[in-house]
Amino acid sequence: MSKKNEKLISHGDIPEWTVSAVNSLLAGLKTVDELTYFHCLRVGQYSAKLAQSAGLTPYQQKLAELSGALHDVGKMGIDKNIIHKPARLNESEYVAMKSHPVMSEKIVQPLAADKNEFFTNLLPAVRNHHERLDGQGYPDKLQGDDIPILSRIILIVDTLDAMSMDRSYRKGLPLHVVYQELQKYAGTQFDPHLVKIFLESHRFWAPQIDPESLENSMLKKVA
């Protein structure tokens, strides 16, 4: 196992202020971009479920939930017309778009100050959520196991959400098409082991996600 994953400890303290701090950042995102805000809430919930299905500990599931919730918070620094452009991005727009994982990391970074362990663990998950297994992702072109497992989890459920939700310019794609896409790119973009777990478990945990209560669940204190 790589050094990065060895760092994903299984147990640890989660400070009482953790969820309040995350909610504060999400409230900032909501003021500029509600679509991305709700996307982040869903990805946070899905990440926790996939982490649980993959056998990660409750501590790691909380890391998955909150890193999933914060993965795109850096998009608040990017022109909304680029983020939601209903067409292919031109080169300069694509460069701007690709800066968002690093911006998300910068926004979360102060919470990891003074060696706060929980947020120190969370930072790489946020920064590397667009890395691909074959090294063709960004921002660090990490490969395989060098990509934090939480980032590999986020990438799968991020794809689920991006493909299945309705957009202003198109209907969401049916689930079987999403599943096919994940299978097609397992091993190149996605971690094949996690894709297998996702495909086996999604139908069991999907009904447990209630979009109406997502905002309330984010307000829950850490158990």
Is residue 33 at the binding interface for Fe ion, with CB under 5 A as the rule? no
Please identify, using beta-carbon distances, which residue of 33 and 72 lies nearer to Fe ion.
Answer: 72
**Closest residue by beta carbon to Fe ion:** 72
Q: Quote the tokens at residue 57.
A: 């500990």
Q: Quote the tokens at residue 127.
A: 């920064």
Residue 74 and residue 77: Cα distance in Å, rounded? 6
Segment interacting with Fe ion (CB under 5 A) among 68-76, 133-141, 181-189, 211-219: 68-76
What's the distance, CA 186 to chain centroid? 18
Closest approach, Cβ 97 to Fe ion, in A, equals 9
Residue 31 and residue 28: Cα distance in Å, rounded? 5
Is residue 161 at the binding interface for Fe ion, with CB under 5 A as the rule? no
Please identify, using beta-carbon distances, which residue of 102 and 173 lies nearer to Fe ion.
Answer: 102
Is residue 72 at the binding interface for Fe ion, with CB under 5 A as the rule? yes
Closest approach, Cβ 223 to Fe ion, in A, equals 28
Residue 137 and residue 27: Cα distance in Å, rounded? 29
Whether a cis peptide bond, with omega within 30° of 0, leads into 174 is no
| Residues noted as catalytic | 75
Please identify, using beta-carbon distances, which residue of 51 and 72 lies nearer to Fe ion.
Answer: 72
Q: Quote the tokens at residue 82.
A: 């680029």
Interface positions with Fe ion (CB under 5 A)? 72
